[in-house]
Structure 1
Amino acid sequence: MDSQKTNSTLRTVNVVRYVMPLREGGSLPALADADDGFSYVLKFRGAGQREKALIAELLGGEIARLLGLKVPELVFANLDEAFGRSEGDEEIQDLLKGSQGLNLALHFLSKALTYDPGATIVESVLASKIVWLDTFITNVDRTYRNTNMLLWNRELWLIDHGASFLFHHSWDNWEKQAISSFPLIKDHVLLPYANDLKAVSEEFVAIITDEKIEEIVAMIPDEWILASRDVETAEEGKEVYASFLKMRLKNFEVFIKGAEDAREALI
């Protein structure tokens, strides 16, 4: 369930059954069933970095999809007020209570395998595309320790972009971060294979237009932006996200040179 172009909005489903926690992540995502008949990996607004992680997941996933990378379908997942009252685990019950309303979920890829860099080599162009994406959105979480990629139907799928967009944890310096390189790219699991960054840049800069950026940013629910109280209005918050991405794109040579330098240091 993927697409190579973004939607103007995401589908909304209602969670009908909490199946089990997925304890690989620190924010306790869960496998859940929804009223559309599908299973999802549910990301909770009441966990960890709260709504900011959901915003990063939404933006990162839809930008990846726009660029033609494989990402499970993202949906808004509504959690009813009564949901989880019968849950026996107190920690999970508190999480469910704190996540009532609109959450985010990824279509569950049944029988997918975690990408193992020791077992599967990713070809250069695809590796370069993923590294480009992650340095563009400042994603710290695609390392050897936690690759956040799955092999499903012999294809590489990207998951979990909630640790992207570092600037929104400190809004006062977003302009500086927008035009800076991303030193943490040195830890990227695919960086050793990414020797086509310049060619990928030409392709991706042509795809990511200002209009596409605004379309993706517009998907963010107002309530998620307002929850952190970093900005006065949701419109102001969306303007910052859009401006960050536009500025970063205009200065792509800076972060691509940083990634190329980091790669040369590795090899």
Structure 2
Amino acid sequence: MIRDHLLSDENAEAIRLMRDLLIMKGYSANTRKTYCNEFHQFLRLLGDTSVNSLEKHHILSYLLWLIEKNNYSEQHVHSAVNAIKFYYEKVMKRGKEFYDLPRPRKPYKLPDILSQDEVMRIINNIDNLKHRMIIMTCYSAGLRVSEVVNLKVHDIDSNRMTIHIRGAKGKKDRMVVLSVKLLDGLRRYASFYRPGDYLFEGLNGGPYSARSVQKILHEAKKAAGVHKRGSIHSLRHSYATHLLESGTDIRYIQDLLGHNSIKTTMRYTHVSLRDIRNIESPLDKLPW
């Protein structure tokens, strides 16, 4: 049984060094939080044992413990590996020793897709104007929840009919299409709510809570009788799939979503019904 301990002074210094280097290298706040949380959990099990004295077999034992005793998901174990590798490779410069830490295979899951009718029912079941515009903005531009809550008023360009997404995943900016219907709704919203800096303001004029946005979608799905699983990201998946089904070139979809690799965007070809509907099952060709 592995016990939980307070951090020794040396191990506390290790996590401080890791946090500082993450900041220096420009990692996002979310990545820094994930890495530090995973590394902190690892350090809490060491007691007075210095993290700098460990060898590769110690790390392998820990990863095995996460999987067998704690039933960690593949994604969670990947996060633990990333955090530990960062410390030993980047902070301690022991890269060769920990380069090939094994990772569990991630299960291949198709994204959850809402039909256009389901999206319309969800939107129509939101009475609050601000809430409705948040969900419409997510779907109309394929935005991540972090992107919609950080939109500023000046990011909406009605002359060029674009939305400027700033500092998205990987700290990349991109331009997406501003829907005519969305612009009309945003004008009504702005005249009523008078947003200052952030397009969708939360408490004290700050950004709206990401958790609150997820709750809006959850309640709207329930009201609309949509029982599919999925979060705000399912709206992004649906946006991409609906574009593909309408004939939009996948390279444009890649740019609109901000994907580095076309391989990431290609997964939507597996859930698109555009080509599947044209395929005839061999069963239907049997001479009954």
Q: Which has the higher strand share?
A: 1
Q: Does 1 or 2 have the higher relative contact order (CA < 8 Å, sep 6+)?
A: 1
Q: Which has the higher helix share?
A: 2
TM-score past 0.5 threshold = no
TM bracket, shorter-chain basis: under 0.3
**Rg larger in 1 or in 2?**
2
Q: Name the TM-score, length of structure 2 as normaliser.
A: 0.22
